[in-house]
Structure 1
């Protein structure tokens, strides 16, 4: 459906792509990855037709409707439900035409047959487009993205920038586009809305191409990876995790080839240097000079290297009970946030705060940090407990003209040795001369890492982290995730990064309905519950509900029964999925070989026949395995439903 043919693109002296081609098929879910500045967003604009190619062309199959996530919306006083409906321009145009025709009918005593026929045709088209369910569908999307039914009737102009981006996303999801281009779609979403969006994309028949720094999000939503590597656009018919394994294997091969080539070059250069002056060796020397000239240097991609994990310092010692919240309450004017909060935190515990945007997660962190006073109740920190709060203000405190080292020294406790500061900066990946970079030239991710380093220089043993990965690229997120996972101190974390929450936290506090309580389940249980709540219900309300503990116990018993009954089937399916990945990778390799024109030369006939036979064998086996996989998956679904 999407064809990129021999595309080249440059900006001044900076080249982004050289003679790159790509095909995306109908219904595929694609992750587009590459280092910052490699041209991902530029490629989106080229696909959308808002930027020209220097060479080559980008084309869509006939009749394909394309949608791209807008970065801003035109100010409007219309309710956001109406704004979302405007995402389907064809539907809304037909509705306006129908309204005009209806007005004409009212104005005429005997309307002409042509007018009636035209109105009937429009009604038919509206029925095909699902006009009768449009408001319901748009409302479901807005609800999934965090808007209540009441908020859906509020004008667009009453919402802030982050919420407007959600409305722009809702318009796109409602648009009925065949190909959706999503550039960082989770940037302004909370954990709950991100989980809903994952489900929406997974169930959508449309093609999606996604740029995201959220590794978990693209893992769960995409099956094809398009990487921008060494100025080329390369397609991998595998998911992101499998791509990372393939990339690492390729990097290791490149390193081995580079080392081998270096040894060969050194050997040739030694021979040339040693025998250049000897007439008897002139022929051999000349031969080696020619060999040296023909060697094409093997380059190892620096962007493919894994970023070292962030190394966090050991926390200072403290009492076992780090924190106690006693009957905490907070309101802002007439807006009640929470009350009756009674919770404790012990040394080494890592808590994730759950709840939608606006529930009070950031407010609770500020109260614990004692930068915001509760209306009622007492916050008690344990003996020798020092809190450290990371939020947006931590980056705003950076001074553009300072070096990284100067910024760190300003944040450190008085008398902290320089070597200790250098060691801690090294743990946050600022080693060697990097420590003397000026803050003004740092990327958003580097500034976030510096702000975190400054936080640790103040000596906290209770971390209060509010969206610490917001400005980090994918590699930096993974590095911080590993560091926080290994950290032995206590932590309360607010994040929309599901992988970070799952990896780091060992318990969860839920803020909902004006209360803060311990969530007695896993993160998946919470997200499934939220997703089910966001789905439109067709059942009548049940006024005889079991108590909360009973529901949890019943659900846990049901999950355990399903798990035990379906374990064998799931194991078989997993083995088949592994074989599918292996076969698809092998087919990718053999097809690359078949694409080489030299293989089709007369002298390579036997090699070509071998390749064709192997391709046929792999395709046959893949078809068999996929058939088995579909059969077992159907049996698994049926067995789950029966239980």
Structure 2
């Protein structure tokens, strides 16, 4: 039975985000919604939920349909509430008074610690805020849940909790997840909608298989278009020849034949459709200043500790060599970011246990992109980070997906995707030969993730990465470090580590 039927839906802002969209969502569907940043995913959720009107088309909802949305960020009015209060707030007044016990049952299912439940929302990490928003959506027992980037800020263990929670939902509850987490989409969805300005495509397949089907379809469309245009050119050439002959000979039959050939070429050209060309949200390019040093970083059994001096783990003796792409894995709270911060500090000031080569040039980005806070505008960031001319600075920002209007606006007004691309641009301008990146795929769409993967591999610079993006780790890592107990160990295969972290 159809819960939602969308027919010929369109949404046009300064440009068409999507047009002619037809979609049906049935009970129990698990649909992945895929598009680049800023291409209408969140707006489509608002339209489906009834809080925003489309430019054209219709949305038909089944009688009594209950739709719940878990947005990317908590509404401002929830920030002063505790997590428990924010979830309870989603209930009607009557249910909140008589069945508030449901809140703690649901938070148990989501494995939320008691200490977290009474903490104010504005003091929660991004991951716990995501969990609160999911709980608010689930507690109303909806027929359809809309999840907007549900894995952002979640570590691998919390992603495992999320996946188990979705699998345990009532069988007839439908879920639509807009996500750039490819592994998550493969795990939880059985349909994929690629949202496009024209001809959005829906495949009854999880993401990776759907992407393959999409690429095959686009390639076939491209071949058909090229073939059609060859026929159009041939028809026009033939018509031109006959026209000259007809004029010289005075043959009415050849004039008629010429007209028929031209009309046939016009009809074929009108029907021909080129393959879809995705408009980039902005390029990501990295650099590698190079070095002759074999070992860029040497670590001599460093003790990684909490701020109050409690030992988290010891590193043992390790080296980071030129060209290594090392991914650091471990459960939340085991000290991944503490090691990153220790390394960063040691490369700036002498450290007895951690030494960098004299030729090392560091490029650093943290998961909150806090390095951008030092700049007032994107223009200010590029000009202060390079000796680029005004024209070149504008071109670089535009290439990174930051248009002219946004270049002089406050950095705080940039979207998450634009902030991430600006951070990558500043890294390139620093010309490092060693990258230290904490959750670099946060806020990047799938196109951006693919670009970052390619750049890290092709540029060949050494890097140490912290990431919970399983597809990204599999694509880029040449070495895997894992925090296990009180030690840092190296393993050959990340998948058993992923399995263990997701099950914990």
TM-score, normalised on structure 1?
Answer: 0.64
Aligned match of 2:411? none
2:448 to 444, 452, 476: 476
User: Displacement of 1:43 after TM fit?
Assistant: 1.6
Structure 2: state its 5+ residue gaps.
409-413
Which moves more between the two structures, 199-208 or 442-451?
442-451
Q: Match of 1:68, SS?
A: strand
CA offsets per residue over residues 565-592 of structure 1, 9 Å max, x none?
xxxxxxxxxxxxxxxxxxxxxxxxxxxx
Shift of 1:174: 3.8
Structure 1: distance between partners of 2:276 and 2:164: 35
Query: What's the C-alpha RMSD, in Å, of the aligned pairs?
Result: 4.1
Report Cα offsets for 1:387-437 as digits up to 9, x if no partner.
332331454567533797x7875399xxxxxxxxx9xx9xxx979988998
SS in structure 2 at match of 1:177: coil
Q: In the alignment, which residue of structure 2 is the partner of 1:548?
A: none
| Cα distance in 2, alignment partners of residues 437 and 56 from structure 1 | 30
Of 79, 83, 87, which residue of structure 2 is paired with 1:80?
Answer: 83
Give the 3 Å change call, closer, same or farther, for CA 389–10 of structure 1 in structure 2: closer
Cα offset for 1:47?
1.0
Tell me, in whole angstroms, the C-alpha distance in 1 between the residues paired with 2:467 and 2:285.
Answer: 18
Can you give the 5+ residue segments of structure 1 that lack an aligned partner in the other structure? 99-125, 413-421, 534-643
CA distance in 2, matches of 1:77, 1:403: 33
Report the secondary structure of 1:299's partner residue. coil
Larger Cα-atom Rg: 1
**Quick check: which one's helix share is greater?**
1
Give secondary structure in 1 for the equivalent of 2:141: coil
Other-structure match for 1:525:
496
1:48 shift after superposition? 0.4
Does structure 2 conserve the Cα–Cα contact (< 8 Å) formed by 1:318 and 1:382? yes
Does 1:150 find its partner at 2:115?
Answer: yes
Aligned residue for 2:236, secondary structure, equals helix
Residue 221 of structure 2: which of 232, 249, 254 is its match? Answer: 254
Q: In 2, distance between residues paired with 1:341 and 1:188?
A: 25
Aligned partners of 1:484 and 1:175: how far apart in 2?
Answer: 44
Decide which of 253, 261, 271 is 1:288's aligned counterpart. 261
Shift of 1:499: 1.4
TM-score, normalised to structure 2's length? Answer: 0.79
Q: How far 1:9 sits from its partner (Å)?
A: 2.9
Matches within 5 A, 1:447-486: 448-449=420-421, 451-452=423-424, 454-456=426-428, 458-485=430-457
Cα distance in 2 for partners of 1:288, 1:526 equals: 65
Q: Cα gap change, 1:162/1:472 in structure 2, threshold over 3 Å: closer, same or farther?
A: same
Structure 2 vs 1, CA of residues 465 and 15 (structure 1 numbering), >3 Å: closer, same or farther? closer
- Tell me the equivalent position of 2:407: 440
1:365 to 333, 340, 344: 340
* Contact 2:192/2:206, CA 8 A, preserved across alignment: yes
Match of 2:318 among 314, 334, 344: 344
Shift of 1:31: 0.7
Measure the CA separation in 1 of the matches of 2:24 and 2:121: 38
Relative distance call for 1:305 and 1:258 in structure 2 (3 A) is farther
Residue 140 of structure 1 pairs with residue 117 of structure 2? no
Helix, strand or coil: the match of 2:192?
A: strand
Displacement after TM superposition at 1:45 (Å): 1.0
In the alignment of these two chains, the number of paired residues is 478
Mapped pair 1:31 → 2:32: yes
Match of 1:189 in 2: 154
- The answer for the alignment partner of 1:21 in structure 2 is 22
Cα drift, residue 46 of structure 1: 1.2
Q: Report matched runs for 1:95-106 at 5 Å.
A: 96=97, 98=98
Q: Distance in 1 between matches of 2:399 and 2:478?
A: 37
Secondary structure, counterpart of 2:78 in structure 1 = coil
